[in-house]
């Protein structure tokens, strides 16, 4: 059986994701769809609107055959590490084709990667701007191409990761349909995940832009996950922790520990705190990720010294057959149930993230939670 890979957050699963899934199957003729999906926190460091098990179930109900969790040490990262972590798992799962959306699929992303080799991180020392901004300005000057859209940045990161690790994966970019990544408006059929989340928070109907099962799952929400809810935990940690301890947190650099501590002491509201900490040097995404690292007390050593693994969240009969086909060839551990030892060692960071997410749901997120199974599916 041949598989096509999708790298996803499904936050939440919407009509654009259905289109992506359908086109991926048409382009590759794959018999199995494997999704590597972020867990309870997204790449930007925000809590997902639905927990990972609910999102995995929605993926299964909409045509995905196997859902594997992208561990938090790769999921809550800038584009390059996010891309590398997801492709590492798909490569180990023997997935040879990956289809993803981009605003400019016609660009030669592989060639763009060669231009980055001409630059060094030390070439960009203007602390008034982010590294990404400075690099993009240099890229525009050299190539005329501006990497500013999140989907194009990820596309670039996928090609770069495959080049650096010599992975024989056929990367297939397709034109992203519908609203832009940051567009908050709802179309007749398509909308961005960001727009859908905003609509939910403001009480607008989203039934036309998501599958029925997604709308039903969202209708059951009693608490909309947000940093506003988690802020008292973060704030208390920043206020109570000595600066020396905060300096051990992953990505707590350039004196950010002082800036965040001061903002926490002054601001009672999360958005006010975030804007107080923001400078031109740091993007909101960088600060949001740092908020999560801080709340979970993730050190640099913990974030960088880890072992990849395949934590299976859901599968149907095709997914089970595919796992059986490849499991003896896997380099990384295959996990179908988290036990007490795993939560303290191999899956320690995901376990912590799951416990933090339980501020929004009573559902246990890891320990003894078996994969969701649907063995009633029919062949594609």
Question: Binding site for ATP: which residues?
Answer: 7-20, 101, 151, 176
Asked if 87 and 160 count as a contact pair (C-beta separation under 8 A), the reply is no
Q: Give the CA distances from residue 39 to residues 47, 156, 219, 347, in Å, rounded to whole numbers and listed in that order.
A: 9, 23, 21, 12
Instruction: Quickly tell me which residue has 């009509």 as its tokens.
Output: 15
Kindly report the backbone phi and psi dihedral angles of residue 316, in degrees, each rounded to the nearest multiple of 5, phi listed first: -110, -165
Total residue count of the chain as it appears in this document: 380
User: Residue positions in the annotated binding site?
Assistant: 7-20, 101, 151, 176
Instruction: Quickly tell me which residue has 């809810």 as its tokens.
Output: 229
Kindly report the backbone phi and psi dihedral angles of residue 378, in degrees, each rounded to the nearest multiple of 5, phi listed first: -105, 165
Using CA atoms, how far apart are residues 3 and 69, in angstroms rounded to an integer?
Answer: 17
Taking 3-state DSSP, the helix, strand and coil percentages for the chain, each rounded to the nearest 5, stand at 50, 15, 40
**What is the CB-side half-sphere exposure of residue 32 using CA atoms within 13 A?**
25
Structure token digits, residue 347:
């899956």
- E strands in the chain: 3-8, 32-38, 66-70, 97-102, 170-175, 310-316, 334-335, 372-374
Instruction: Quickly tell me which residue has 């859209």 as its tokens.
Output: 149
């Amino acid at each position: 059986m041949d598989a096509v890979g999708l790298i996803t957050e499904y936050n939440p699963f919407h009509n654009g994701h259905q289109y992506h899934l359908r086109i991926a199957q048409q382009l590759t003729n794959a018999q199995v769809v494997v999704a590597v999906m972020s867990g309870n926190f997204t790449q930007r460091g925000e809590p997902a609107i639905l927990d990972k098990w609910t999102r995995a179930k929605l993926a299964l109900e909409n045509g995905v055959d196997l859902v594997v969790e992208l561990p938090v040490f790769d999921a809550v990262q800038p584009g390059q590490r996010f891309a590398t972590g997801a492709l590492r798992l798909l490569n180990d799962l023997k997935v040879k084709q990956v289809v993803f959306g981009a605003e400019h699929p016609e660009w030669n992303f592989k060639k763009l990667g060669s231009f980055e080799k001409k630059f060094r991180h030390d070439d960009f020392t203007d602390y008034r701007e982010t590294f990404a901004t400075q690099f993009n300005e240099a890229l525009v000057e050299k190539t005329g191409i501006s990497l500013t859209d999140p989907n194009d940045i990820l596309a670039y990161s996928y090609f770069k990761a495959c080049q650096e690790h010599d992975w024989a994966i056929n990367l297939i970019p397709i034109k992203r349909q519908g609203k832009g990544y940051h567009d908050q408006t709802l179309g007749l059929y398509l909308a961005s995940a960001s727009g859908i989340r905003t609509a939910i928070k403001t009480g607008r109907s989203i039934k036309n832009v998501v599958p029925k099962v997604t709308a039903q799952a969202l209708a059951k929400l009693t608490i909309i996950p947000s940093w506003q809810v988690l802020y008292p935990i973060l704030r208390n940690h920043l206020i109570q922790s000595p600066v020396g301890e905060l300096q051990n947190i992953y990505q707590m650099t350039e004196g950010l520990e002082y800036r965040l501590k001061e903002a926490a002491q002054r601001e009672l509201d999360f958005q006010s705190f975030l804007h107080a900490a923001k400078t031109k040097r740091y993007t909101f995404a960088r600060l949001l990720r740092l908020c999560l690292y801080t709340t979970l007390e993730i050190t640099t050593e913990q974030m960088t010294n880890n072992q990849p693994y395949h934590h299976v969240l859901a599968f149907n009969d095709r997914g089970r057959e595919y796992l059986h086909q490849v499991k003896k060839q896997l380099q990384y551990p295959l996990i179908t149930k988290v036990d007490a030892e795993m939560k303290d060692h191999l899956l320690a960071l995901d376990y912590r993230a799951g416990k933090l997410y339980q501020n929004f749901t009573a559902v246990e997120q890891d320990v003894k939670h078996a994969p969701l199974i649907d063995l009633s599916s029919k062949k594609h």
